[in-house]
Amino acid sequence: MHILLSSAGGDQSRWLTELGNSLPQAQVRIWQAGDSAPADYALVWKPPVEALRGRAGLKAVFNLGAGVDPLLAMLRQYPDLLPPAVPLIKLDDAGMAQQMVQYVSYAVLRHFRRFDDYARQQQAGRWQTLPRRRMEDCRVGILGLGALGAQVAASLVQQGFPVSGWSRSAKQLPGVASYAGTAELGSFLSSLQVLVNMLPLTADTENILNLEVFNQMNRGAAVINVARGAHLVESDLLAALESGQLAGATLDVFREEPLPTEHPFWSEPRIEITPHISALTVRMDSIAQIVEKIQSLERGEAVSGVIDRARGY
């Protein structure tokens, strides 16, 4: 069995060693320019086109990051790159869920407990107790109830927040008010004090965080984006903050990364910025999952995480 590894960024040598230890019957190699040797499986994150071109014998391609949109964008640009019969497989969790729960919980609590306001008071040297907010008045909405979104929603319910969820198709989660489809988006937004975006990036969801959406939320609400930068219309966020419709935003993802030093987000005190760290891939968890799925595929068994190319996730 031959496994090809091509991952932009990160320490590929660690992946190479640990994959070899976990799957000793396989020959694992890092893709190098000019490599056209056969491979049964490819493990990729933002690979160059040449890493996948001409791989007629591929049985599956594993996407090593949480977002599949870079890989799908490559296949749209080069539609003959991989035959439709070759499954594209994403990681189900790989240690990211707990990190995402922690990140979103922090951002929600920061808004709810007014820690952002107190931080600004500290900078101004002002000692003032602000009015207490009631948890029952702070409804949190989760855009996207996939594997990560569902776990974030469950955690917020456990903490005592009222939680709503919106997805393409209806989901039933304990304690979560479920909305689905374009027709129910307005109803989902109308009572929100915090909006958390965890949607996959598709043609339908690009630019979904816009002024029309912000204006349907409660005045003084907050936005948390941990999905993709292209979900957010940046000028609309700045306008909503300037008008007071939004009180703040926590952003972990951006259209251009790293965020350029001259970008207006840096100088907006109501925006909290982190450098795409809300949920980092845990290498050993990922390898264990990939090994299990390769073994299942070798036995002719179905596996979870197969990407629907038409739907985009």
Cβ atoms within 10 Å, residue 11: 10
Distance CA 240, CA 154 (A): 29
Helix axes of 96-112 and 147-159: crossing angle, nearest 10 degrees: 40
3-state percent breakdown (helix, strand, coil) of the chain, nearest 5 = 35, 20, 45
- CA atoms of 97 and 278, how far apart (whole Å): 10
Task: Show which residues are catalytic.
Answer: 228, 276
Distance CA 73, CA 70 (A): 5
96-112 and 115-123 are packed helices; what angle lies between their axes, rounded to 10 degrees? 60
CA pair distance 240, 244, nearest whole angstrom: 6
Token pair 């965020």 is found at: 259
Distance CA 266, CA 62 (A): 35
Rounded to whole angstroms, the Cα distance separating 43 from 45 reads: 7
89 forms beta bridges with: 62, 306
